[in-house]
Amino acid sequence: MDIQKNTSSTLLDRIRAHRLTTTFTLLATLSIGILAGSILTRNVSGKEQSEVNSTDAKPLIIPSPVALSNGFSQIVKQVGPAVVNINTEELPKPQNSKRKRGGQRLPQPSDPNSDDDSQQSPGDMQDFFNRFFGGQGGDDGDGGAAGERRALGSGFIVDSRGYIITNNHVVDKADKIYVKLSTDPDGGPGDEGRPATVIGVDKDTDIAVIKIDTKEPLPTVKLGNSDGAQVGDWVLAIGSPFALSKTVTAGIISAKNRSIDEPSPNGVSQTQFQRFIQTDAAINPGNSGGPLVDMAGQVVGMNTAIYTQSMGSQGVGFAMPANIIANVYNMLIGPEHKVVRGSIGIQFQVAQSSAVNRVYGFASGVIVGVVTPNGGAAKAGIQAGDVIVSIDGRNIKDGDDLVNDISARHVGSTVKLGYLRDGKENSANVVIGDRAKTYADITGQPDDTSTPQETDAGEGKLGITVSAIPASLSAKVGIKGGVIVTNVRPGSFADEIGLGKGTIITAINRKPVTDEASYRAIVSTLKSKDDVVFVIQSATQKNLNSYVGGTLP
């Protein structure tokens, strides 16, 4: 029994030993194979590399900068520093304070803020911000309080003290305007730029003048004479399309004196003073307000509008001529900060058939369509159907000639009109009136060139509306005067300093507020950069006052 047991044990030991030997043998074989493969691969790779000869390859050399002959770069260096980026912000307004815009944005046959999308046509003339930048801030398109609206545009400095020309539709209805110079760094979301104020606007030509404060003289553009620009001349458009600042595109002047007639429902042309330089230089949303520059480095126009079916450039852009810009600018920086144009109080058909001229017996002139009651023409005896053929003895060509002459004359001056009635020559001395007031009489709308009258003086400056304190609350807090805040506009000055709805105001800047009239009188004297401090009466405890203040933007 013992012998058999030992035999079995020896056999198991041999098997175990044999397994270990086999395992080590296999591992050794694999290792040798891997090592041999690595050596062979290295030898092959080295052999291939040794057969490639690159000794004849020459290193690349960066050449010295070369100034090209077209001169575009020199013009950009000259004009570019004076081109600015403009950012605007429109704060949300309460529904009940919605105000209908009284002017025209060019060119725009349908209201881009209308809730009726059926008005929009892909082939319509679109102004730069028509549904492109208008709703970026979340605005719902009807002026409601859904969120703030932001818009982007361009402009150019014409006075080293910070005066900038841009389009009216860039700054129209903006509560805050910021300007970035070409030398300003591109900051983050909190770095909008330098605050700007509106000096004056002219809706008829879509021109606006804004100003930024500066301690150092700023670079300016050189204004050219747009009458000297010719079809076929090279031009450059500089601006911030799609918020891409310092962008330059090139093209030619493709047409001049281009009009885009947009008669309103009452028949009055909305673009009567807009005669554009047409260009095929690529102009896109954000270029609006930027300069159109000729090869002499002079600004001959301001990029204003595009004709598009895709909201992008299709090679047809429109720029307001520099000569018109200069005339409007000089009036906007004047004491009244508005443009005053002459009018004789008539309406006429812009274009007419040559058959009309033959039947009515005149080669050039204007047939009077409507005579405005109480206007200069009506008082001088001009009637509908009369044909105006001369001004102060000078024959006129057409309606544009008539408008340009009359609008440039001073209000209150007298002009001698020659006209035909039933084929007979007549003349009349007509007193020039204010076109803005005449236009208001025709359209039945208020003169929007005058300072708007707010129902609450604090709504625009402070962002609040107020009313008299209810008698029950007045008795509870023990005060006889003051006003109570009934609404606060989000994002306004009052909202930022913490004035809330239901706040009782008893004094502003140490002046007592006794009623709504005294409140409006005090607020009407406030201006930008003024410190404003309110005395607030507690609505729950008598004789408990607090003081809230801030600096008006």
Instruction: Let me know whether 362 and 327 are in one domain.
Output: no
Residue 395 has pLDDT above 90, yes or no: yes
Instruction: Let me know whether 482 and 427 are in one domain.
Output: no
For the chain, the average pLDDT equals 77
Structural domain count of the chain: 4
Contact 332, 202 (CB under 8 A): yes
Listed range (18-22, 281-285, 543-547) with the worst mean pLDDT:
18-22
Catalytic residues: 169, 206, 288
**267 compared with 506, residue with greater pLDDT:** 506
Instruction: Let me know whether 347 and 316 are in one domain.
Output: no
Q: Tell me the range of 36-40, 193-197, 315-319, 491-495 where mean pLDDT is highest.
A: 193-197
DSSP line for 88-120: EEE----GGG-----S--SS-SS-TT-S-GGG-
Contact 286, 276 (CB under 8 A): no
Residue 135 has pLDDT above 80, yes or no: no
Residue 104 domain flag: no
Listed range (9-23, 167-181, 403-417, 419-433) with the worst mean pLDDT:
9-23
Instruction: Let me know whether 196 and 325 are in one domain.
Output: yes
| Domain span holding position 6 | 1-39
Residue 66 has pLDDT above 50, yes or no: yes
Last residue of a domain, one of 390, 411, 443: 443
Q: 395 - beta bridge partners?
A: 390
pLDDT of residue 204: 86
Residue percentage of the chain with pLDDT more than 70: 71
pLDDT of residue 272: 65
Q: Tell me the range of 15-29, 252-266, 460-474 where mean pLDDT is highest.
A: 460-474
Say whether 493 sits in a helix, a strand or coil.
Answer: helix
Last residue of a domain, one of 288, 310, 332: 332
Mean pLDDT of 282-293: 89
Instruction: Let me know whether 540 and 436 are in one domain.
Output: no
Say whether 292 sits in a helix, a strand or coil.
Answer: strand
Residue 163 has pLDDT above 50, yes or no: yes
Mean pLDDT of 349-356: 74
Residue 447 has pLDDT above 80, yes or no: no
Question: C-alpha angle with apex 180: 176 to 183, nearest 5 degrees?
Answer: 165
- Per-residue pLDDT band for 120 (boundaries 50, 70, 90) equals very low
Alpha carbon distance 351, 154 (integer Å)? 34
**105 compared with 352, residue with greater pLDDT:** 352
Residue 52 domain flag: no
One-letter amino acid identity for 200? G
Residue 313 has pLDDT above 50, yes or no: yes
What's the farthest any 2 CA atoms get from each other in the chain? 158
Residue 109 domain flag: no
Instruction: Let me know whether 491 and 539 are in one domain.
Output: yes
Instruction: Let me know whether 124 and 217 are in one domain.
Output: yes
| CATH number for the domain that contains residue 243 | 2.40.10.120
One-letter amino acid identity for 297? G
Alpha carbon distance 280, 303 (integer Å)? 11
Last residue of a domain, one of 298, 313, 332: 332
Residue 106 has pLDDT above 70, yes or no: no
pLDDT of residue 297: 93
Residue 267 has pLDDT above 50, yes or no: no
Residue 463 domain flag: yes
Query: Position of tokens 């859904």?
Result: 146
Instruction: Let me know whether 289 and 143 are in one domain.
Output: yes
pLDDT of residue 475: 81
Mean pLDDT of 32-44: 55
Q: How many CB atoms lie within 10 A of CB 76?
A: 18
| CATH number for the domain that contains residue 506 | 2.30.42.10
Residue 456 has pLDDT above 80, yes or no: no
**191 compared with 187, residue with greater pLDDT:** 191
The dihedral sign for the CA sequence 328, 333, 337, 342? negative
pLDDT of residue 282: 87
Instruction: Let me know whether 317 and 346 are in one domain.
Output: no
Question: 147 — phi, psi (to 5°)?
Answer: 165, 175
One-letter amino acid identity for 421? R
**363 compared with 44, residue with greater pLDDT:** 363
Instruction: Let me know whether 168 and 260 are in one domain.
Output: yes
Residue 411 has pLDDT above 80, yes or no: yes
Q: 258 - beta bridge partners?
A: 276
Task: Say if strands 342-343 and 433-434 run parallel, antiparallel, or are unpaired.
Answer: antiparallel
Residue 377 domain flag: yes
pLDDT of residue 349: 74
Residue 98 domain flag: no
Residue 64 domain flag: no
pLDDT of residue 454: 41
Instruction: Let me know whether 528 and 421 are in one domain.
Output: no
Residue 316 domain flag: yes
Listed range (38-52, 200-214, 223-237, 529-543) with the worst mean pLDDT:
38-52
Instruction: Let me know whether 233 and 201 are in one domain.
Output: yes
- Per-residue pLDDT band for 103 (boundaries 50, 70, 90) equals very low
pLDDT of residue 426: 93
